[in-house]
């Protein structure tokens, strides 16, 4: 009887210790998604998907959240609205671009896959396009949520192919300073209006802009281009959750022949922040 009592006591103690170890492990490995770098207030982040942001290997998604508009900028009648979707681990970004056409009406709904290393557009996926001069089927077009659900298979196919993580954009940082463990980077945008729109001569607005990033006395020109616009402004940047890289967001406006000819949009330019390759 004495041996039986001792054996029972040992089992109870073993069970208690095992339970305590499990509790400690859960606490050490817990992740507070509400405070993560890439958390977006009011978003429908799926914790099971969000934990993938801290892992090194992409896991194929079975759904992607309907992206929300985070990029506020001033645009005219034909400007597009932009909805960031996510980053890949190798420097690609995906965002949704929705353009509604005033005057004749209609819309164009696309997903853009862009490399923030080369800044080239890798893939454009058309989700919806509608021209009321060709059809009167408004009920099945130009509805963002309806289109996202209808084109679910196409969205999964391409976002998984390019290994885009859902909800990995976070919030835009509007500062011109980027703070990293290696030091502080500074962003500077300069621009000049080369040609101004003229109804008499038919000339269009042509602006030249240069985007530079500075670090400890050194600088790198990451974009130097011309654009049909009368103005280019800095909006901010998004930082990759996977590597030391940002994508800088500019806006442009272009006034032209009339109200329905005005245009506007954003320009996205990548910049690596690895100081070891800064001068390369």
Same domain assignment for residues 187 and 90: no
Task: Indicate left, alpha or beta for 216 from its phi (over 0: left) and psi (-120 to 50: alpha).
Answer: left
Domain assignment present for residue 141? The answer is yes
Is residue 270 predicted with pLDDT exceeding 50? yes
Is residue 93 predicted with pLDDT exceeding 80? yes
- Measured CA to CA, the distance from residue 45 to residue 54 in angstroms comes to 14
Same domain assignment for residues 213 and 155: no
pLDDT tens-digit series, residues 137-168: 888 899 999 999 999 999 999 999 999 999 99
pLDDT tens-digit series, residues 49-79: 444 455 678 999 999 999 998 787 766 556 7
Domain assignment present for residue 22? The answer is no
- Measured CA to CA, the distance from residue 233 to residue 211 in angstroms comes to 11
Residue 201: per-residue pLDDT: 59
CA distances from 199 to 203, 205, 276 (A): 7, 11, 51
Q: What is the mean pLDDT of residues 195-205?
A: 72
Last residue of some domain: 128, 161, 194? 161
Same domain assignment for residues 138 and 61: yes
Residue 257: per-residue pLDDT: 58
Mean pLDDT of the chain: 79
Domain assignment present for residue 20? The answer is no
Same domain assignment for residues 91 and 181: no
Last residue of some domain: 98, 132, 161? 161
- Measured CA to CA, the distance from residue 57 to residue 278 in angstroms comes to 27
Is residue 8 predicted with pLDDT exceeding 50? no
**Measuring CA to CA, which residue among 122, 114, 155 is closest to residue 238?**
114
Q: How confident is the model at residue 275 (pLDDT cuts 50, 70, 90)?
A: confident
**Measuring CA to CA, which residue among 89, 75, 91, 40 is closest to residue 264?**
75
- Measured CA to CA, the distance from residue 165 to residue 46 in angstroms comes to 11
Residue 80: per-residue pLDDT: 84
Same domain assignment for residues 124 and 219: no
Residue 239, number of CB atoms within 10 A of its CB? 21
Is residue 5 predicted with pLDDT exceeding 60? no
* Residue spans of beta strands (DSSP E) within 47-158: 80-87, 92-100, 107-115, 121-130
Same domain assignment for residues 156 and 94: yes
> Is the model more confident about 99 or about 14?
99
Residue 15: per-residue pLDDT: 40
Same domain assignment for residues 60 and 118: yes
Same domain assignment for residues 89 and 148: yes
- pTM for this entry: 0.77
Domain range for 102 is 47-161
| 8 Å CB contact between 191 and 236 | no
Residue 260: per-residue pLDDT: 52
Q: What is the mean pLDDT of residues 95-109?
A: 85
Is residue 193 predicted with pLDDT exceeding 80? yes
Residue 77: per-residue pLDDT: 55
Rounded to the nearest 5 degrees, what angle is found at the Cα of 193, between the Cα atoms of 192 and 194?
105
Is residue 246 predicted with pLDDT exceeding 70? yes
Q: How confident is the model at residue 203 (pLDDT cuts 50, 70, 90)?
A: confident
Domain assignment present for residue 198? The answer is yes
Q: How confident is the model at residue 106 (pLDDT cuts 50, 70, 90)?
A: confident
Residue 171, number of CB atoms within 10 A of its CB? 16
Domain assignment present for residue 17? The answer is no
Same domain assignment for residues 187 and 84: no
Q: What is the mean pLDDT of residues 201-230?
A: 89
């Amino acid at each position: 009887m004495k041996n039986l009592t001792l054996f029972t006591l040992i089992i109870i103690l073993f069970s208690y210790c095992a339970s305590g170890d499990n509790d400690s492990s859960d606490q050490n490995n817990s992740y507070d998604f509400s405070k993560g770098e890439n958390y977006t207030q009011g978003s429908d982040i799926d914790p099971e998907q969000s934990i993938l942001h801290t892992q090194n290997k992409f896991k194929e998604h079975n759904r992607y959240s309907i992206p929300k508009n985070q990029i506020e900028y001033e645009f005219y009648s034909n400007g597009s609205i932009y909805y960031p979707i996510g980053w890949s681990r190798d420097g690609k970004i995906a965002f949704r671009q929705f353009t509604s056409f005033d005057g004749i009406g209609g819309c164009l709904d696309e997903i853009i896959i862009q490399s923030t290393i080369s800044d080239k557009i890798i893939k454009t996926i058309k989700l919806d396009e509608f021209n009321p001069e060709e059809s009167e089927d408004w009920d099945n077009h130009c509805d963002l949520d309806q289109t996202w659900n209808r084109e679910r298979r196409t969205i999964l196919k391409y976002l998984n192919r390019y290994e885009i993580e859902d909800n990995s954009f976070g919030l835009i940082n509007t500062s011109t300073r980027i703070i990293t463990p290696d030091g502080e980077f500074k962003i500077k945008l300069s621009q000049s209006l080369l040609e101004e729109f003229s109804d008499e001569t038919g000339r269009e607005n042509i602006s030249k802009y240069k985007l530079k990033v500075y670090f400890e006395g050194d600088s790198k020109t990451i974009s130097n281009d011309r654009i049909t616009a009368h103005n280019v402004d800095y909006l901010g940047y998004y930082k990759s959750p996977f590597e030391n890289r940002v994508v800088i967001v500019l806006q442009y406006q272009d006034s032209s022949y009339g109200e329905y000819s005005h245009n506007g949009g954003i320009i996205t330019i990548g910049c690596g922040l690895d100081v070891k390759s800064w001068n390369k």
